[in-house]
Structure 1
Amino acid sequence: MAIYCVGDIQGCYDELRRLLDMAGFDPAQDELWLTGDLVARGPKSLEVMRFVIGLGARATTVLGNHDLHLLATAAGYAKPKKKDRLTELLEAQDADRLLHWLRMQPLLAEHPTAPLMMTHAGLPPQWDLATARLCAREVEDLLRSDQGNWLLCHMYGNDPARWDPRLAGLPRWRYIINAFTRMRFCTPDGSLDFHSKVSPKQPHPGLIPWFELRQAHEEEPDLIFGHWAALMGQCPVPRVHALDTGCVWGNQLTMWRWDDDAIFSLGCPVYAKGD
């Protein structure tokens, strides 16, 4: 059995299947970990959803910002983005089943035996792993409850930008969602910045990548994340693995095999422009 970890798919179903074949993924024995954003700008979000669900316990994914927006759109609380290609999924006969499954997915996933954990965007500087677990379970439980649609309606917004353990109610839940699914740069005090999406190699005055601010404890598992395509899989921090390499933007789809540190990459056509 091997553990394969792959970056944001964003509806790029054909590329996912080719990359799995290239890497020798065996759905009868191996595990597939996906960093979220299964859907949106690529042409085959419906096929991606059906495929991942069909893997059953062999697949583990986390919620990304595009996944949450799909849920909010399906619930009638958000308008479909013009760049998204979700009509086929939303109108599918099995849409209710697919969306229910998606709503049940976590914000933070931890492997039961391997020292490995995963979120869509990362972990904010002020959180240790215990805080991350607590915050993830809090919002996951709410999304799965009869208040889930209310939260999907009110999750949009950039405030508060800085964590405070005294936060309560909607401000607390919005921060948690943003930290898990939208974070890239932070200011030196750890406040989240939601404007800059460039590579850290480009000018970004007064901003620091979240992973350079966060002090991980030695006993923490390796962390894999996606979301930040401009990183192109480059993260200088040990045991933190960036896997989104911008497949949907015409770059690559990248997969990491945890067992032997092997990297597999596949060039992709351009399906979307902008972010």
Structure 2
Amino acid sequence: MSTYLVGDIQGCFDDLCFLLEQADFNPQYDELWLSGDLVARGPKSLETLRFVKGLGSNATTVLGNHDLHLLAVANGIAKVKSKDKIQPILDAPDREELLEWLRHQPLLAAHPRHPFVMAHAGISPQWDLATAHQQAKEVEACLRSDDFLWLLQNMYGNGPAHWDPQLTGIEQYRYTINAFTRMRFCYPDGRLDMDCKLSPAQAESEALKPWFDLPRLQPLGKKVIFGHWAALMGHEDQHVIGLDTGCVWGNSMTLLRWEDGARFEKACPVYAA
């Protein structure tokens, strides 16, 4: 049994299938871990959702910002954007089943045997791993409860930018969602920057640092697998592995086999306008 990790799919289902075939992925025995943003911008978001859901316990996916936005759109909280190409999901006969499944996916997942955790954007430099798990569980519980519409209605916004253990209610939840699904850069004091989407070399301000380059008061003790940041074109150091290599933007999709570090890549056409 092998464990495969992949970056943002964003509806690029055919590219995912190509890589899984190239890697000789066996859906009965192998595990597939997906870093979130299953949907949007690519041509086959519906097929992607159906496939990942159909893998059952052999697939683990975390929620990305586009996945949460889909839930908001489907519930009339946000408007459909034609560039997201999610209308087939909204029109599908199994729409409610797929959305209900998506709503129950985690923000943070830890592998039971291997020393890694996965979150779509990463883990706030202001958190230790115990805090990250606790904050994820609280938002996940709300998202899976009867209060999920309230959460979807109020999750949008860039603040608070700084973590405070005294945060409560929607401010606590919004910080958690932003850290797990939207974070790229931080300021030296740990404040989140929600605006810059460039690579570190292109950042407008020298004060901005990638979240994974900020020192932590307590090491996480596990490698963090993340996606979300296409401009990085992948990143790996002793603490993190970034797997979003910009498939939907015409770059490539990357699949990593954990056991031996083997990487499988596919050049992709430009899907996103």
For 1:227 and 1:216, locate their aligned partners in 2 and report how far apart those are by CA, in whole Å: 25
Alignment correspondent of 1:209 = 210
5+ residue gaps, structure 2, are none
Shift of 1:20: 0.5
TM-score normalised by the chain length of structure 1: 0.97
Partners of 1:249 and 1:270 within 8 A in 2: yes
SS at match of 2:201: coil
After TM superposition, which residue ranges in structure 1, 4 or more long, deviate above 6 angstroms? none
Instruction: Tell me how many residue pairs correspond in the alignment.
Output: 272
Q: Which residue is 2:259 aligned to? A: 259
Q: Distance in 1 between matches of 2:216 and 2:20?
A: 33
By how many angstroms is 1:203 displaced?
Answer: 3.8
In structure 1, what is the Cα distance between the partners aligned to 2:215 and 2:110?
19
Which stretch of the first structure deviates more once superposed, 195-204 or 245-254?
195-204
1:228 matched to 2:226? The reply is no
Q: How does 1:45-124 map to 2 (within 5 A)?
A: 45-124=45-124
Aligned to 2:239: 239
Match in the other structure for 2:169:
169
Instruction: Tell me the amino acid that sits aligned with residue 170 of structure 1.
Output: I
Distance in 2 (alpha carbons) for counterparts of 1:203 and 1:152: 30
Residues 166-214 of structure 1: CA distance to partner in whole angstroms, max 9, x if unpaired?
A: 0011111100000000000011111110111111122431100000014
Identity %: 61
**Cα offsets for 1:125-154 (capped at 9, x unmatched):** 110000000000000000000100110011
Deviates further, 159-168 or 219-228: 219-228
Q: Distance in 2 between matches of 1:15 and 1:214?
A: 36
The 5-angstrom pairing of residues 2-41 of structure 1 reads 2-41=2-41
- Structure 1 pair 157–29 and aligned structure 2 pair: CA distance change class (3 A): same
5 Å-filtered alignment, 1:138-153, equals 138-153=138-153
Deviation of 1:12 after TM superposition, in Å, equals: 0.3
Structure 1 residue 24: deviation in Å?
1.3
CA distance in 1, matches of 2:203, 2:168: 35
Equivalent position SS for 1:83: helix
In structure 2, do the counterparts of structure 1 residues 242 and 264 end up closer, same or farther at CA, with 3 Å as the change threshold? same
The letter for the 2-side match of 1:230 is A
* Deviation per residue, 1:105-132 (Å, 9 max, x gap): 0000011111121000000111000000
Taking a change above 3 Å as real, the CA distance of residues 139 and 219 of structure 1, as seen in their structure-2 partners, is closer
Aligned equivalents of 1:142 and 1:59: distance in 2?
23
TM-score (norm 2): 0.97
| Contact 2:35/2:226 (<8 A) preserved | yes
Structure 2 residue aligned with 1:131: 131
Counterpart contact for 2:63–2:181, Cα < 8 Å = yes
Q: Which residue of 1 aligns with 2:271?
A: 271
AA of the residue aligned to 1:193: D
Unpaired runs of 5+ residues, structure 1, are: none
